[in-house]
Structure 1
Amino acid sequence: MKKLIVFYSLLMIGCVEHAPTHPPVGGILSEKDLDISKNRSKNLNILERGQIEDWIKNQNEDFYPMKMNYWVNDANLQNQNRKSNGDSISYLYYIYDFDWVKLYETPIENKNVVFGHFQELKPIEDALRYMGKDQEVTLLIPSALGYGTYGDNDQISNDMPLIIKLKVL
């Protein structure tokens, strides 16, 4: 009789519907899940901004905040002529972590890319809109504007702020 009670108890426990740990593919997040996600992103952004600002204080060059929430080492970048959608540009960049470790040995290079049709990180596109031929800048990018929560599934891990050395060709 005890075995039968234990068996039925285990059977009943196994039939209990468990709450999913994440929404199904194509599923909709609840308001509570959205609030949790927003708060996580907000807190991570505040933490990273503080860490980047502390990092900047220990550098030999100055970095200046841009409207999009990243930093650049050119104080006058936003004062230069802004390129419009339809203009084209060629550029390359290297990606580093905040220990100045190069994450990829070869640069990412794109030729004759048309503004308005970029498939690039938003801070890179934004900076390129103000840059002139042969100009080089260094960008400090929080993870939310980089590869975010998932990284690039290769050298860039999740929630990783980046340093980008960017040059117009």
Structure 2
Amino acid sequence: MNKFLTIALVFLVFACKTPEARSPVSVKTGSFIDASVERNKKLNAREKASIEKIMKQQNIDYIASESGFWYYYNNKAVIDTLKTPDFGDVVNYNYNVKSLDGNVIYTTEDIKTQSYAMDKEELFTGLREGLKLMKSGETVTFLFPSQKAYGYYGDENKIGSNMPLICEVTVNSITEENQSR
């Protein structure tokens, strides 16, 4: 009987052992993220090369913005007293959208005249940053890489995934925030 009790006690002690964490069969250290970063770098390089080719073909001195797009003034304001919009100012503008090969995606008539409260409403990144550079009466042509345009999702209509764009924008007026109330 003592042997039986000793064996039962030994089994009981080993059976009550706490569970140990198991090691994973395979270890993946951010491989999806690394692959995504590589894809985006290649996409960005291809788009930049396409945009640079267009700028060279057009023989126009585009300005590289700090935000990662290029632009030139079709019509630049000559009056120094005009100001660029600040936070909350309402910008009244027209624009069109083209693909890099020059095909019109949306005409000015399709889009109609827009009013935008600066940084208070949704607008694709490139256009929002581009409007900040403009004064009333100016027309500017922007070349936006896809990450500054509609990115991966497009506009779910005519603008596809990862599509760089050309936009010609005219600012009709800028109304200061305290005057628009």
How would you bin the TM-score normalised by the shorter chain? 0.7 to 0.9
* Equivalent residue, structure 1, for 2:96: 94
* Equivalent residue, structure 2, for 1:12: none
Question: Are 1:107 and 2:111 counterparts?
Answer: yes
- C-alpha distance in 2, partners of 1:126/1:149? 19
- C-alpha distance in 2, partners of 1:92/1:99? 21
Rg comparison, structure with higher value: 2
Question: Are 1:128 and 2:128 counterparts?
Answer: no
- C-alpha distance in 2, partners of 1:122/1:132? 18
Which of these residues, 147, 155, 160, is aligned with residue 163 of structure 2? Answer: 160
State the 1:150 CA deviation.
Answer: 2.2
* Equivalent residue, structure 1, for 2:58: 59
- C-alpha distance in 2, partners of 1:83/1:123? 15
TM-score, with structure 2 as normaliser? 0.68
State the 1:107 CA deviation.
Answer: 2.7
Where does 1:14-93 land on structure 2 (aligned, <5 Å)?
31-74=30-73, 81-93=83-95
Contact 2:73/2:139 (8 A) holds in 1: no
Deviations 1:57-79 (A, max 9, x none): 000432111011100013989xx
Contact 2:73/2:138 (8 A) holds in 1: no
- C-alpha distance in 1, partners of 2:113/2:31? 42
- C-alpha distance in 2, partners of 1:50/1:83? 31
* Equivalent residue, structure 1, for 2:17: none
- C-alpha distance in 2, partners of 1:82/1:53? 27
- C-alpha distance in 1, partners of 2:125/2:153? 17
State the 1:82 CA deviation.
Answer: 4.3
State the 1:130 CA deviation.
Answer: 2.1
Deviations 1:84-132 (A, max 9, x none): 2122211121000112111023135322x22121311112111211211
CA RMSD, Structure 1 to Structure 2 (Å): 2.4
Deviations 1:18-69 (A, max 9, x none): xxxxxxxxxxxx7221221122111111111111101110004321110111
Contact 1:63/1:72 (8 A) holds in 2: yes
Q: Secondary structure at the match of 2:39?
A: helix
Size of the alignment, in residue pairs? 138
Amino acid at match of 2:111: P
State the 1:153 CA deviation.
Answer: 2.1
* Structure 1 gap segments, 5+ residues each: 1-29
* Structure 2 gap segments, 5+ residues each: 1-28, 173-181
Contact 1:45/1:142 (8 A) holds in 2: yes
- Larger displacement relative to structure 2 (127-136 or 80-89): 80-89
* Equivalent residue, structure 2, for 1:10: none
